[in-house]
Amino acid sequence: MQRKFIHILITLALIALPLSSAGCSISLNQSPPPAQLPPTQDINPAEHLASNWVFPSEGNTQTNPLPNFPPVIARVMPSVVSVTTEMVVSNFFGQQYTQAAAGSGMIIDDEGYIVTNNHVVQSAESIQVKLHDGRTFSAEIVGTDALTDLAVLKVTATDLPHIPWGDSSRLALGNWVIAIGNALGEGISACEGIVSRLDVPVTVEGNTLRGLIQTTAAINPGNSGGPLVNMAGEVIGITSAKIASVGVEGMGYAISSNSSKPIIEDLIRQGYVTRPWLGVELYTVTPFMAATNDLPVDEGVLITRVFTPSPAAQAGLQEGDIITRFGDENIANRDDLVLAIHNCQIGQEVEITFVRGEETRTTIARLQETPSPWG
């Protein structure tokens, strides 16, 4: 029986052999003919050879040592503070509860003025500041500016170390910088990096911050309001984790020291920032918004409120008007108009083109100084 079984296997193998050979033969016969290479040009390689060729310059193998970080950090750290806020928030069911949040700040003089981000203290019911030496103080808001995301606090204390202000215009790509702050609310820490881009605009929640410094130094939640310093221990930027939270590693942002300096001065001197003011609240018109609301244009800014009195009210602008041009600038969105207004002078007259209903009109507005928030 076994011999018969072996005989059957041998017979099957002999039958399969020609079949497999035939299969290979069919596969080969059906394959396309080899591609023809294009004709080569008549080139003589010897014409391009240079037996004595060397690299034009040899690389310098000498490397520059890393900067000495510890002395800089030790000099700056005492001026950096942890900022803890409490605010009342509501849940989905309308129930209110107190929520704590952490940020950073820096002492800028020996009178107790502290610079931080606006979003760190916005809507805060109470603010506590903890110094490097362990002392804790209640802080009061001196002034805030949402457009630049800056705020100034004040504590009543003595023997306050303060941080020197630097010149951000002297920065260059590749400069070493250190971000110091209350990262993740776990205490003051430091992280080094380089300047990777300058004069960067970043839009957050419809508000565009300009002139930002991009850095590879890690900026995490809790770093907000802390200093970005150069190797001289000078503030050249104010970090903002709110801006840096874009889900991308190695792309932190800081508000430059030069752009923030006049804002801080205005907040300390008068509690608000003086700017040209039109007196309207705005909403960007998009094609989708225009289609769903049957608007006459699909680009511009919709006036949702006109303050009275204001330059806008005096110029005859009304709620529902759509501004499409301001002076010499075409207006496509809210940021365009805000920037155009801020590029003007207080008292300047500006022609405004707007759409009301199906009609395009023009008017002249004389810009005024930003009114005091206290009336």
Give the tens place of pLDDT for each residue, 195-246: 999 999 888 776 788 889 999 998 888 899 999 999 999 999 999 876 765 5
Q: What is the pLDDT of residues 83-115, one digit of tens each?
A: 999 988 888 787 888 888 999 999 999 999 999
Is 119 one of the annotated active-site residues of the chain? yes
Averaged pLDDT for residues 35-45: 63
Other C-beta atoms within 10 Å of 366: how many?
Answer: 13
Lowest mean pLDDT among 14-18, 23-27, 216-220, 236-240: 23-27
The single residue of 79, 119, 189, 335 carrying the catalytic annotation is: 119
Residue 19's pLDDT is what? 41
Q: 145, 149, 266, 336: which is the annotated catalytic residue?
A: 149
In our burial notation (b when 16+ CB lie closer than 10 A, e otherwise), range 65-85 reads eeeeeeebbebbbbbbbbbbb
Residue 56 lies in a domain: no
- Residues 257 and 209 grouped into a single domain: yes
| Shared-domain flag, residues 287 and 253 | no
- Which are the contacts of 13, defined by CB distance < 8 A and separation ≥ 6? none
CA atoms of 200 and 213, how far apart (whole Å): 6
pTM: 0.77
> Mean pLDDT over residues 19-45, rounded?
52
Whether residue 320 lies inside any domain: the answer is yes
Residue 224 annotated as catalytic: yes
Residues 187 and 210 in one domain: yes
Neighbours of 330 (CB within 10 A): 12
Quote the pLDDT of residue 153. Answer: 97
CA distance 36 to 39: 9
For 355, which DSSP code?
E
Per-residue tokens: 216 = 């590879």
| For residues 332-340, average pLDDT | 92
Same domain? For 103 and 143 the reply is yes
- The verdict on residue 344 lying in a domain is yes
| Length of the chain as a residue count | 375
Q: Does the pLDDT of residue 173 top 90, yes or no?
A: yes
Check residue 14 and give its pLDDT.
Answer: 43
Angstrom distances, CA of residue 29 to CA of 15, 17, 23, 24, 26: 22, 18, 10, 9, 5
pLDDT value of residue 251: 81
10 assigned to some structural domain? no
Question: Does residue 62 belong to any structural domain of this protein?
Answer: no
Q: Provide the CATH number for the domain around residue 115.
A: 2.40.10.10
Same domain, 83 and 133: yes
What is the structure's pLDDT at 260? 96
Q: Residue 375 pLDDT more than 80?
A: no
- Is residue 176 one of the residues assigned to a domain? yes
In CATH, what number is assigned to the domain containing residue 311? 2.30.42.10
- For 194, the domain range is 168-261
162 is annotated as an active-site residue: no
Domain final residue, candidates 154, 185, 209:
154
Of 168, 196, 224, 260, catalytic: 224
Number of domains forming the structure of the chain? 3
Whether 214 and 285 share a structural domain: no
Domain-embedded: residue 37: no
Are 247 and 286 within one domain?
A: no
**Domain stop point among 119, 154, 189:** 154
In a domain, 123, yes or no: yes
| Residue that terminates a domain, selected from 261, 287, 321 | 261
How confident is the model over 114-155, as pLDDT tens digits? 999 999 999 899 999 999 999 999 999 999 999 999 999 999
Average pLDDT, the chain: 86
Inform me whether the pLDDT recorded for 68 exceeds 70: yes
